[in-house]
A = this chain, B = another copy of it.
Amino acid sequence: GHPMVLSLSCKNSRGIVHAVSGALLSVQGDITDSKQFDSPDTGTFFMRVEFTTPESREAVEAALEPVREEFAMDLGLWEASRKTRTLVMCSKDGRTLNDLLFQQRAGTLSVEIPVIVSNHLELQPMAFFYGIPFIHIPVAKDAEGNSNKAEAEAKLLDLVAEYDIELVVLARYMQILSDDLCRKLEGKAINIHHSFLPSFKGARPYHQAHDRGVKLIGATAHYVTADLDEGPIIEQQVQRVTHAQSAREFVIRGREVEGSTLSRAVKWHAEHRVLLDGKRTVVFD
Contacts and interface: CB of A to CB of B under 8 A. Distances in A.
A56 interface: no
A144 interface: no
Interface stretch (A17-25, A145-153, A158-166, A171-179): A17-25
Interface in A1-47: 14-18, 21-22, 24-25, 28-40
B198 A244 contact: no
28 contacts: A14-B28, A14-B29, A15-B21, A15-B25, A18-B21, A18-B22, A31-B38, A33-B244, A35-B36, A37-B243, A39-B243, A94-B102, A94-B106, A95-B106, A106-B255, A108-B252, A125-B129, A196-B196, A197-B199, A198-B199, A214-B236, A215-B234, A215-B236, A215-B283, A216-B237, A243-B277, A243-B281, A243-B283
Interface of A: 14-18, 21-22, 24-25, 28-40, 94-95, 98, 102, 106, 108, 125-126, 129, 196-200, 211-216, 218, 232-238, 242-244, 246, 252, 255-256, 260, 277, 279-283, 285
Contact of A36 (B15, B29, B34, B285): B34
A199 B195 CA distance: 11
Contacts of A17: 17, 21, 31, 34
A197 B200 CA distance: 10
Chain B CB count within 10 A is highest, among A199, A211, A237, for A199
- Chain A at the B interface: SS class: mixed
A197 B215 CA distance: 10
A233 B260 contact: no
A29 B122 CA distance: 39
Contact of A215 (B30, B235, B243): B235
A153 to B, nearest CB: 27
Contacts of A14: 25, 28-30
A236 B216 contact: yes
A213 B211 CA distance: 26
Contacts of A211: 279
B108 A102 contact: no
A272 to B, nearest CB: 15
Contacts of A238: 216, 238
Contacts of A246: 40
Nearest to A37: B244
B283 A242 contact: yes
Nearest to A282: B243
Contact of A233 (B22, B129, B212): B212
B25 A31 contact: no
Chain B CB count within 10 A is highest, among A33, A102, A211, A282, for A102
Contacts of A198: 199-200, 212, 214
